[in-house]
Chain A
Amino acid sequence: MTEEEAAFHAAAKNLPDPRPRPEEELKILEEVWRQPTGWRLPTAVNNNIVGSAYVGAALLFFVLAGCLALLMRSQLATPMAEIVGQETYNQLFTMHGTVMMFLFAVPAVEAMGVLLLPQMLAARDLPFPRLSAFAFWAYLVGGLVFFTTIFFGASPDGGWFMYPPLTSYVYSPGSNADWWLLGIGFIEISAIAGAIEIVVGVLKTRSPGMSLDKLPLFGWAMLVFAGMIIVGFPAIILGTILLELERAFHWPFFVAEKGGDPLLWQHLFWFFGHPEVYIIFIPAAGFMSMIVPVVARARLVGYRLVVAALVATGFISFGLWVHHMFTTGLPPISTGFFSAASMAVSIPAGIQVFAWIATIMAGERARWNVPTLFTVGFLIIFTMGGLTGVMVAMVPFDWQAHDTYFVVAHLHYVLIGGMVFPLFAAIYYWVPMVSRFALSERLGKWVFWLMFTGMHLTFLPMHWTGFAGMPRRVYTYLPNMGFDGFNLLSSIGAFTIGAGVALFVFDMARKFRMTQEENAGNVYGGGTLEWLPNGSYAARSIPIVKSREPLWDNPELGDQVEQGQWFLPGAPTHRRETIVTSPLKAIPQYLVIIPGPSWWHVIAAAFTAALFLSLTVKLTLPAALFGVIAIGAMLRWAWELDKGPDHEPVDVGGGLKLPVYMLGNRSHAIWAVWVLIVVIGMIFACMVFSYLYLWSVQPDRWPPAGTTLPSPLHTGTTLLLLAASGGLLTVADWMLTRARGKAIVLTPFLGALMFLILAIAGDIWQWSATGLRPGESSYGASVFTLGFLNSLNLFTVALMVLFVTARLLVGRTDPVRRLSFDTTRLLWLYTIGQTAVSVVFAHGFPRLVS
Chain B
Amino acid sequence: MSGKGLPPVLDTAGPQADPIATLSWVLIVGGGVILLIILVALGIALFGGAWRRKFAGERMVIIGGILFPVVTLTGLLTYGLGLTAGLVGTEDADPVRIHVTGEQWWWRVEYLEPARFTSANEIVIPVGRPALIDLASDNVIHSFWVPELAGKLDMIPGKTNRIRLLAEEPGVYFGACAEYCGGPHALMLFRVRALPPADYARWVRRESGSAMPPSESLAAEGAALFQTLGCGGCHQVRGTRSRGLAGPDLTHVASRLHLGAGILPNNKGTLGGWVANPQRLKPGVKMPAYSALSARELRALVTYMDGLE
Contacts and interface: CB of A to CB of B under 8 A. Distances in A.
Interface of A: 85-87, 90, 157-159, 163, 165-166, 171-172, 256-257, 260-263, 298, 301-302, 305, 309, 327-329, 332, 335-336, 339-340, 343-344, 346-347, 350-355, 357-362, 366, 376, 379-380, 383-384, 387-388, 390-391, 394-404, 464, 466-469, 471-478, 481-482, 697
Contacts of B87: 396
Nearest to A486: B7
Given A85-B283, A399-B153, A472 B56 contact: no
B143 A403 contact: yes
A347 B70 contact: yes
A327 B152 contact: yes
A309 B85 CA distance: 32
A264 to B, nearest CB: 11
A208 B129 CA distance: 74
A540 B81 CA distance: 60
Given A328-B154, A471-B176, A477-B186, A357 B38 contact: yes
Given A157-B182, A358-B61, A473-B185, A329 B35 contact: no
Contacts of B184: 86, 475
A481 B84 CA distance: 29
A476 B179 CA distance: 15
Nearest to B20: A396
Contacts of A332: 81, 84-85, 88
Contacts of A340: 77
A482 to B, nearest CB: 6
Interface of B: 7-10, 17, 19-20, 23-24, 27-28, 31, 34-35, 38-39, 41-42, 44-46, 48, 52-53, 55-58, 60-62, 64-66, 68-70, 73, 76-77, 80-81, 83-85, 87-88, 104, 139-141, 143, 145, 147, 150-154, 156-159, 161, 174, 176-187, 189, 263, 283-284
Nearest to A368: B46
A538 B20 CA distance: 57
B48 A350 contact: no
B156 to A, nearest CB: 6
Nearest to B63: A354
Given A347-B70, A347-B73, A403 B7 contact: no
Contacts of A362: 53, 56-57
Contacts of B28: 391
Nearest to B137: A165
A206 to B, nearest CB: 26
A327 B178 CA distance: 10
Given A166-B140, A469-B9, 5 more contacts: A86-B184, A301-B60, A353-B64, A394-B27, A400-B9
* The 10 A-B residue pairs with the shortest CB-CB distance in the complex, in nearest-first order: A399-B151, A256-B158, A474-B186, A362-B56, A351-B65, A361-B56, A329-B161, A468-B7, A354-B64, A467-B7
Contacts of A171: 104, 139-140, 182
A482 B284 CA distance: 26
Contacts of A468: 7-9
A158 B64 CA distance: 42
A325 to B, nearest CB: 8
Contacts of B41: 354, 357, 361
Given A166-B180, A376-B42, A464-B7, A343 B73 contact: yes
Contact of B81 (A301, A339, A478): A339
A387 B84 contact: no
A328 B144 CA distance: 11
Contacts of A469: 7-9, 145, 147, 174, 176
A352 B64 CA distance: 10
Max count, chain A CB within 10 A of own CB: residue among B48, B69, B180: B180
B34 A387 contact: yes
Contact of B80 (A157, A263, A394, A473): A394
A171 B177 CA distance: 18
